[in-house]
Chain A
Amino acid sequence: MITAEKLNSYITKIPPAPQALRDTLHLLNLGDLTKAAKVANEDLALSSYLKNLMRKPIYGFKNDVSDISQIFGILGVAGSQQAVYNYMISLLSPSKWVLFKLNATAFHNLQAELSVNWKKILTHLAIYDKDIQSAITLLPASFIIAEALFSEKIEDVKLLRSVSAIDLNTILKRLCGMDLFDICEKISQKWEMQESIAKIVQAASGVKPQEDNNINTLGKWMHLLLFYTLSKSSYIEAGLNDFIDFQVEYVMDIYDDFSSVIEVS
């Protein structure tokens, strides 16, 4: 169905991050929001993405914010880095989704919802590290990878799943020895993201605990946030709810805190 060769070819084809984005991220790392905004403004696709992002209801701005330096100012260094990473991940998304019923807008909404709620969680945990804040941006890459690898095999996947409770992540792992989150890690390496980002996302798979307990705790919160988000009607309809296995026991000890932070009714 999916061979190791196909997987390797997919990984090889992941493009390096464009120069303008690398420069923007470098300047954001130095904390120079003004210069970063200037560079970002030159990349029309990025600036358009950022302007649209600000229009998402989840950010709750009443007036249109269209100046990039103003956007970076509102988001701060960590939020701006997160937004740029979100944009980078969205570059990998297909023009037409087949496996999941998504489109560019729905995918951007998903990114925005995850990012805003992840920030709430980190505020609750009193974590202000910008790389940890950006870690959430890598998570949606797993949908893109699943889409790319399984879209031609929808019928096979349906048949397989009609006889066995097996999720896409497990199918990939059993066939190729590498799962969706391993590929996320490869992307993060290619794009020179901080190592901790990939580790948190690996822990968020719910099946690969890391050595560092702090990372595992963040992974738990991210796993629960992922399933909270994927339980929304639009993502259930999109077919995202069961693309990986939800590990309920893994997150039970943080559930009460989570429901009060995210205000689960």
Chain B
Amino acid sequence: MRAMVKDGIGIFSPQGFLDGNNGNFFLSIEDIEATIKLKVDMILVSLKKVVFFNRNGLDAFVKMLLKVRAANHATVGFCDFDHKKFEAISRFYENDLNFSLFKTQEIASLFASSFKNQSKNVLIYSEDKSQRAAMAIELHDNGHNPIVAQSEAEYHQKSKAENTYDVIIDNTYLGVMGQKVATRVTGNAIIYTVSSFLDAEIGNTFNIAYHNNSLNVGFRLFIFDAYKVVSMNVHALNFFSKLASSGAEYNAAICFVGLTFEKTPIAFKETLEDAGMLFFDHMDDILQNKELLHELGASSAATVKNKRAINKAIVTELPNFIDATVATIEMMTNATANKETAKVCTIEVADKENKIASSIGFYGDIDGMVVLVFPLAIAKKACALLIGEDTDDKEQVLDTLAELVNIVGGKIKTLLADEKISVNITLPRTYTDVDGLLEVIHDKKGVQLDLKFDDDKFLFFLTR
């Protein structure tokens, strides 16, 4: 069984009965290894579809969760349960409850670094006073407005108030929370979460290859969520200075949010500002300021000195890239693809109206990026299998398109692995219009292929 990853949270969903006889069979060694490698900041086991469990059944998952946490510092635990199940788990692990319990996935997402929406009004209740405080602190750090009910009576009274709270938290327990450089995407900004003491270790925990490829794919705004940072030393200072300088090559903006200088020398701030780093007190100062967000994150043509040209290594693998794309779209639409023209050029989009685009980068033995430009109607058609219905919600289509491009990326990875070429893929980036895409790649040469599915055309572009 593999975890399904959404918004930075990996979820396992076992079904049916979970006991000592079968618990270990849900997870193979490969599953555990794959989970450790996931770039997520939370790994949860959903009990939504488990009708019966006992301690032995849960133990197999607990062992896996603790292994994952030890390896990559993710927050781990269980979610999606009712009061009876919450009581049962709390009883089973009375003295060694060192993982978290979230009543629902929605509640878990409030505590994850990858939360999408901030400023939720959250009512909290737990019998345990220290738990109430811990939840309130975490939620506050994550940009929400926690309201703590101090007693059960107060909780019942407050929870009856309609439209007052976005989320009501009970039957939830915070175990050891994760501390990793988590990554999430908000709009087209990539947000890294850093915490505690920043020292030389940041060079190991920060995924520089991922960052560089995100730059290459077209992400221009990088925010370090540093609310939980206590202090920074000179090694970390050097690391961030270099990061800022390398980002400047792409016109990228790198910001620190919430960093205090009580225990970090103020001179560090000046050094980082000199390197081009920006500082903000609150995340909302950027995310809620559409104008600033646009200015900082706008796709801009990179003035890279060493322009990376498409090379033989990539062109040799072109059939794999095309096959992965064609097979994915065929799978999603049940239509047959015809390849029309292929040429080496800078991207040429004939009619920009009503088109959306998405790109995904790959890096490793070879590197580059695949760009797909769809008419909105085909994108909707291609996403129908995942969404399950027709939708006119462009944001939903873009989100689903990102998942589709993720599948393409996954397929590319598999096809290349068959040829002993090892690559990783970045997060997909989506563009609401073609102009945004062109700003990033207008001067990049690559291989352009026009594809036709039934009567619908779309464009495939492979570049570096």
Contact = CB atoms under 8 A, between A and B. Distances in A.
Residues of A in contact with B, size category: 35 or more
Contact of A163 (B15, B26, B384, B386): B386
Interface string B323-363: 00001101110100000000000000000000000000000
Nearest to B52: A264
Interface in B1-36: 1-2, 4-5, 11, 13-19, 21-22, 24-26
B251 interface: no
A162 interface: yes
Residues of B in contact with A, size category: 35 or more
A237 B49 contact: no
B52 A248 contact: no
A246 B49 contact: yes
Tell me the interface secondary structure of chain B in the complex: mixed
B410 A159 contact: yes
B330 A245 contact: no
A127 interface: no
Given A155-B414, A166-B386, A233-B25, A3 B1 contact: no
A242 B4 CA distance: 13
A158 B331 CA distance: 12
B148 to A, nearest CB: 31
B386 to A, nearest CB: 5
A160 B15 contact: no
A228 B15 CA distance: 9
A45 interface: no
Nearest to A243: B15
Tell me the interface secondary structure of chain A in the complex: helix
Contact of B25 (A161, A237, A246): A237
A141 to B, nearest CB: 20
Contacts of B24: 233
A227 B24 CA distance: 17
A261 interface: no
A165 B4 contact: yes
Contact of B17 (A3, A166, A227, A252): A227
B16 A174 contact: no
A181 to B, nearest CB: 17
B327 A156 contact: yes
Contacts of A1: 330-332, 334
27 contacts: A153-B331, A156-B327, A159-B328, A159-B410, A159-B411, A160-B386, A162-B4, A163-B407, A164-B4, A165-B11, A166-B385, A174-B385, A227-B15, A227-B17, A228-B17, A230-B15, A230-B16, A231-B19, A233-B21, A233-B22, A242-B13, A245-B15, A246-B51, A248-B50, A255-B52, A264-B17, A264-B52
Interface of B: 1-2, 4-5, 11, 13-19, 21-22, 24-26, 48-52, 327-328, 330-332, 334, 384-386, 388, 403-404, 406-407, 410-411, 414
